[in-house]
Amino acid sequence: MENLIYLFCAAVLTGCLTSWVVILLKKWGVIEWVQVHGNAFFVKLASCDFCLNFHCAWMLMLVVAVLTGEWILLAVPFFSTTIGRFLSA
């Protein structure tokens, strides 16, 4: 039960953090720049809020999992993506 509470808290915090990062990237114009200058994969990635939040959360949790050794954190992006998408839309 303790792992589920840990996973839930990590998902909520990650969703909030990734939505903040996506909003910041939109404000700075990075997303639009990628849509204009990127290849087909990055154009599709940058046009989807769900994909942006998922990949941002996955990169963040990969770094955190390596630093802490808690590999259960790699499941967090599957739960935090909807929170991040809702907040950054």
Residue linked to tokens 């790699």: 74
pLDDT band, very low/low/confident/very high, at 60 (cuts 50, 70, 90): very high
The pLDDT tens digits of the residues spanning 44-53 come to 888 888 888 8
Whole-number pLDDT of residue 73? 87
Whole-number pLDDT of residue 16? 92
Residue type for position 29: G
**pLDDT (average), residues 17-32:** 92
pLDDT band, very low/low/confident/very high, at 72 (cuts 50, 70, 90): confident
pTM of the predicted structure, to 2 decimals? 0.83
| Close Cβ partners of 39 (under 8 Å, ≥ 6 residues apart) | none
